[in-house]
Amino acid sequence: MALIIVAEDDEITGAIACDALMAYGHGAGLVQDGAEALRIVKARRPDLLVLDCSMPGMSGVLVLRELRKMEAFWDLPGMMLTGRRGAQDEEMARFAGADDYMKKPFDPDEFVFRVEELLARRQTSPALTRP
């Protein structure tokens, strides 16, 4: 079981993501803005962070960029779950440190599959060292 934070300003989308994660045995918490996500992650490091690109106040890309600067969180797996469809949007998210990028609308089973791939990749990777 992994602890996963979902930062999504649309309650229905966030609930679908959290329900799918919990149905597969993960713990999932929903926050509705980027600043709150950053605060929660700093208080208790999750195993994975799912972020919407477009949230009020602080976008998911900015949250990820901030986390990548911090010694304690530079390696935290991060997935973008977003309605942004352009190649440039995905490129910007990947440049900020996104490990995966999934477009909405999404299939909950595929979402969980990709989350579990990210978690497994982190568990089977040799010890990471900061560049």
Whether 130 is in a domain gets the answer no
Domain count, the chain: 1
Q: What is the largest CA-CA distance in the chain?
A: 38
Quick one: tokens of 41?
Answer: 């992650």
> For every one of its 131 residues, what pLDDT tens digit does the chain have, with 9 covering 90 and above?
999 999 999 999 999 999 999 999 999 999 999 999 999 999 999 999 999 998 888 999 999 999 999 999 999 999 999 988 788 989 999 999 999 999 999 999 999 999 999 999 887 765 554 44
**In what helix (H) or strand (E) does residue 90 lie, and over which residues does it extend?**
helix 87-96
Domain that residue 117 falls in:
3-121
Indicate the pTM of the whole model.
0.91
> Residue 49's domain is classified under what CATH number?
3.40.50.2300
Phi/psi for 71 (5° steps) reads: -55, -40
| CA gap 99, 4 in Å, rounded | 14
Whether 131 is in a domain gets the answer no
